[in-house]
Structure 1
C-alpha cells in the first residue's frame, strides 16, 4: 500500500474552477474520506488521483512517485464506482478474475486469487452465478472483489454504497471498514453522507465550491469546526447559530448577548464585529437558574431522546435532551451552555475564531 500526497492541486473546466489549490496527505493504510455536497469538487479530486482527469496544475504523489501526468493504467490503483460496472454476461468468477486475465496472469494463479478474495468477501457460494441475478449488496461485493484481486497500491471509491437502501448501506459500511482493517489498505472514499464519513473515516477532508474547508480527524471536525459551512454540514441536527454583534478581548471567557453573559472557550485574539455563537443541540441544557431564556416551539420525540425547538432573543435553536425531560410548546425555559463545547465564528469570513481549544485543529489544507 502507499502514501498519497496532494500539493496545490487545481482543476479548471474552461472558466469554471472545480478544485482550487488543494493540499493534503493521506497516510499509508489510512481510510480517507472526501466529503462534501454535490458539485464541491470531491469526485473531481478523486478522478485526478486515479488519472481519469489530468490536473490543470499541482502535483500528485503515490508511494513517493509523481504521477499527475501519468495515465490511470500506470498508477497501480483500483477504482470502485457507485454503479457497479460489472459485465452482466459473465459469472462472478469471471468478473473478479477479469483484471488478472487481461494482464496475462496464469489462469491457475488467477483462480487461486479469486478464491481467496471470495473468502474474504463472503461470496464463495456466488462464484458460478451470473451477476445479473444478484442483489445490490452482492453485486457491490463482486465489484470490490474485482478491485482488490490485483492487490493495488491504493483503492479509490466514488460513493460505492450510494445505490443501496439505507439499512443495507449501513451494514455494508461496517463490512467495508472491516475489510479495510483486514487488508491494511490505503483507501480514498468519496461521499456526500456526513454520517458515513464520520462512521468510516480515519481522516476527513470537507470540501465546498472546490475549496478545502477543513481537514482532520472526525472528532476534531465535529467538535471544533473550522468554518460555518463545516459546522452546519456536519451533524444531525446541525450546529445551532445565534448571531450578535460585539467585541472580544484576548483571554475572554464570556460574550455579551442580549444583555446576558454566555460562556465561550478562552479566546486567543481580540475581535470586534458580527459574530456567530455556535452550539451543538446535544450541548444545550435546560436550567431553572439561567437568565438566558427561550420559549419551546415544538418537540420531536425520538425514543430515548427528543429534539426541542426553541425561540430565543438571538434566533431559533434546537436542543437534544432526554425524552424523560418533560416540556410543552409555549413553555419558557432557561438555557445553559458549556463554554468548552461552544464555537465562535466571524460571520463575515465564516471562519472560526481561534481559542485555546481549537488552536492547531483549524486546518484548511
Structure 2
C-alpha cells in the first residue's frame, strides 16, 4: 500500500476554480475521507488523485513518486464508483477477474485470486450469477471485488454507498470499514454524508467551495471545529450559534450573552468585535437556576433523548436532553451551557478564535 501526499493542488475549468491550493497527507494504510456538500471539490480532488483529471497546478505523490501528470493507467490505483460500473453481459466471476485477464495473468492464478476475494467479501455463492439480477448490496460487493483483486497501491471510492437505501448503507459502511481493517489498504473515500465520514474515517478533510476548511481526526473536527461551516456541517443537530458583541482580553474565561455571564474556554488572544458563541446541543442543560432564559417552541422525541428547540434573545437554540426531563411548548426555562466545550468564532471571518479548546486556530489578522 502507499502514502499519498497532495501539495498545493489546484484545478480550474475555464474561469471556474473547482479546487484551490489543497495540501494534505494520507498515511499508508489510512482510511481517509473527503467530506463536503455537492460542488465542494471533493470528487474533483479524488479524480485528480486517480488520474482521471489532470491538475492545473500542484503535485500528487503516491508511494513517493510524483504522478500529477501521469495517466491513471500508470498510478496503480483501483477506483470504485457510486453506480458500480459493472459489465452487465458478464457474470460475477468474469467481472471480478476482468482486470487480471486483461493484464494477461495465467488462468490458474486468476482463479485462485478470484476465489480469495470472493471469500473475503462473502460472495462465493454468487460467482456464477448474472450481475443484472443482483441486489444493490451484492453489486457493490462485486465492484469492490474487482478493485481488490488487483492488489493496487490504494483504493479510491466515489460515494460507493450512495445508491443504497439508508438501512443497508449503514450495514455496508460497517462491512467496508471491517474490510479495510483486515487488508490495511490505503483508502480515499468521497462522501457528502457526515455520519458516514465520522463512522468510517481515520482522518477527514472537510471541503467547501474548493477550499479545505479543516483536516483532522473525526473527534477533533467535531469537538474543535476550525470554522462555522465545519461546526454547522458536522453534527446532527449542528452546533448552535449565538451572536453577540464584546471586548475580551487574553485569558478571558467568561463572555456575556444578553447580559448573562457564560463560561468560555480561556482565550489565547484578545478579541474585540462581533463574535459567535458556538455550543453543541448535548452541552446545554435546562436549568431553572440559570439566568440565561429561553422559551420552548418545539420538542422532538428520539427514544432515550429528545431535541428541544428554544427561542432566546440571541436566536434559536437546540438542546439535546434526556427524554425523562419534561419540556413542554410554551415553557420558559433557564439554559446552562458547558462552556469548556464551547467554541468562539469571529462573526466576520467565520473562523474559530484561538482558545484553550482551539489552541492552533487563528481567526483574524
Q: State how 1:1-365 maps to structure 2 within 5 Å.
A: 1-360=1-360
Give distance in 2, aligned partners of 1:94 and 1:212. Answer: 40
**Residues 328-348 of structure 1, C-alpha deviation per residue, up to 9 Å, x if partnerless?**
111111111112110100010
Question: Is the 1:224–1:361 Cα contact (8 Å) retained in structure 2?
Answer: no
Deviates more, 1:40-49 or 1:291-300: 291-300
The Cα of 1:282 is off from its aligned counterpart by 0.7
Give distance in 1, aligned partners of 2:80 and 2:123. Answer: 17
**Residues 61-94 of structure 1, C-alpha deviation per residue, up to 9 Å, x if partnerless?**
0000000000000000000000110011110000
The Cα of 1:361 is off from its aligned counterpart by 6.9
Question: Is the 1:220–1:361 Cα contact (8 Å) retained in structure 2?
Answer: no
Deviates more, 1:5-14 or 1:240-249: 240-249
Give distance in 2, aligned partners of 1:356 and 1:274. Answer: 20
Give distance in 1, aligned partners of 2:176 and 2:360. Answer: 31
Question: Is the 2:353–2:362 Cα contact (8 Å) retained in structure 1?
Answer: no
**Residues 242-297 of structure 1, C-alpha deviation per residue, up to 9 Å, x if partnerless?**
01111111000011221111110000000011100010111111112111111111
**Residues 198-234 of structure 1, C-alpha deviation per residue, up to 9 Å, x if partnerless?**
0000000000000000000000000110000000000
Give distance in 2, aligned partners of 1:328 and 1:42. Answer: 42
Give distance in 2, aligned partners of 1:93 and 1:361. Answer: 51
Q: 1:329 to 1:84 in 2, by over 3 A?
A: same
Which stretches of structure 1, 4 residues or more, deviate above 2 A after TM superposition? 360-363
Give distance in 2, aligned partners of 1:144 and 1:11. Answer: 28
Question: Is the 2:354–2:361 Cα contact (8 Å) retained in structure 1?
Answer: no
The Cα of 1:362 is off from its aligned counterpart by 7.8
**Residues 278-324 of structure 1, C-alpha deviation per residue, up to 9 Å, x if partnerless?**
10111111112111111111111111111100011111100000000
CA RMSD of aligned residues (A): 1.0
Q: Give ranges in structure 1 of 5+ residues lacking alignment.
A: none
Q: Give ranges in structure 2 of 5+ residues lacking alignment.
A: none
Give distance in 1, aligned partners of 2:193 and 2:236. Answer: 11
Give distance in 1, aligned partners of 2:44 and 2:139. Answer: 25
Give distance in 1, aligned partners of 2:355 and 2:259. Answer: 23
The Cα of 1:360 is off from its aligned counterpart by 3.6
